[in-house]
Structure 1
Amino acid sequence: MNLFSAGLSGLALGASLIIAIGAQNAFILRQGLIRSHVFILCLICALSDATLIAAGVGGLGTLVSRSPVLISVVTLGGAVFLGTYAFMAFRRALKPAAMVAGAPEPMGLKAAVLTCLAFTFLNPHVYLDTVVLLGSLSAAFEGAERVAYGAGAALASFVWFFGLGYGARFLAPLFARPAAWRVLDVVIGIVMGLLALGLLWSFFSGE
């Protein structure tokens, strides 16, 4: 297998794992719609994924998969965080506001960055997808091909997050109505809530 094929394999697998309705994507979508700190948040998500992918390809995946304590801590912490954010989303849905150009940002840069980092690193699926799964599959490649595979997977993250963050603005006319924000926040709340319940089920069932 040549470098191009290895890179393409990493790109395809990385995209298949990232492009899904999840907490991180829902957060970036909402920030993109209100055009709040879009670049830095997309960069944080993409670089975080790239770092975890590099760690997995470098062999950390085996270590993480053998550390049930680490997975348990992240799982419980992620469930609490996602549950809290779901509550906040449902509360916003009760009093939606139309998006107005130049309106005050609902979240400062520090709070947005910390929230983004929490969505990234308090989600055990992030570790399972990037470090464990992508890392273990990289064993099929050697040398430069493994590097190309990891680079392809990381590229998928950059393309997706920046596409999602900046592409969200094309939906701005739709979200000029409060009802649209209500629907979005309800959907976000449901997604976060289900993810939190899933993590709690995994934690208490020992799966």
Structure 2
Amino acid sequence: MNRRRDSDLNPTITDRIRRLTAPGWMRSVLVRRSVAVALVVCAAVLAVVEHRDPPTPTALVAVRDLRPGQALTAEDVRIASVPEELTPDDAPTVDEVVGRQVTGPVHRGEIIARHRLLDARLPAALTGRSDARLVPVRPADDSLASFVRAGDRVDLLGDDSQVLARDAIVATTPSTDRSGPGETGTLLVAMPADAAHRVAAAGIRDPITFVLH
């Protein structure tokens, strides 16, 4: 009697197998208990998975206001959590932006994407032409330069009113804090290669006049 009681309290592997293979209600009870335990474990695992917070999207944002053409340092940006719908598809990493120039003014807290940075693909991206080039242009009039913004479409005229380029796109605008009294800032303008050559040659002699669209 005592041996049977000890066997019930401390079943060996043989006892467990014998019980599982035994006919009748005992086997049914053991099977139901095993299934119940398995269901409880599965429910607990599913609950943990369902309540796990999804990863929060992040992006680089400007720590301070950035001027057009400014080369970025690691101190100019930080990684911030942003809503998923605002996360740019071309979001760069910190290493990818260091040393790159922004194409236009960037305000503090603004998200920085690759298309806001100067690179070899920018002229083609702005104009839609694979032969596009970036040309530094010195405006003939400081006041006119202050009205131009990155992304504006302009026609460029030489000193003799000859049209040098049509539908050129401004990539960067002059930085006001770099231009002293009487100085004219320089813009970078994207245009097809043939127009770029004309503008570059004319700009050696005289400032260029802009016609805004």
Whether TM-score is above 0.5 comes out as no
TM-score normalized with structure 1 length: 0.22
TM-score normalized with structure 2 length: 0.21
Q: Counting helix residues as a fraction of each chain, which structure ranks higher? A: 1
Task: Look at both structures and tell me which one has the larger radius of gyration over its CA atoms.
Answer: 2
Greater relative contact order (CA < 8 Å, ≥ 6 in sequence)? 1
